[in-house]
A = this chain, B = another copy of it.
Amino acid sequence: MDKFMQAAFDEAKKGLEEGGIPIGAVLVVNGEIKGRGYNQRVQKESAVLHAEIDCIEKAGRLTARDYKNSVLYTTLSPCDMCSGAALLYKIPKIVIGENINFKGAEDYLQSRGIEVEVLNDESCILQMKDFIKKNSALWNEDIGE
Q: Name A residues whose Cβ lies closer than 8 Å to a Cβ of B.
A: 41, 45-49, 53, 56-57, 59-64, 67, 79-85, 87-90, 105, 108, 140-141, 143-145
Contacts and interface: CB of A to CB of B under 8 A. Distances in A.
A90 to B, nearest CB: 6
Given A47-B60, A48-B56, A84-B87, 5 more contacts: A48-B57, A53-B53, A79-B88, A84-B84, A89-B144
A39 B61 CA distance: 14
A48 B57 CA distance: 6
A64 B140 contact: yes
A105 B87 CA distance: 11
B60 A45 contact: yes
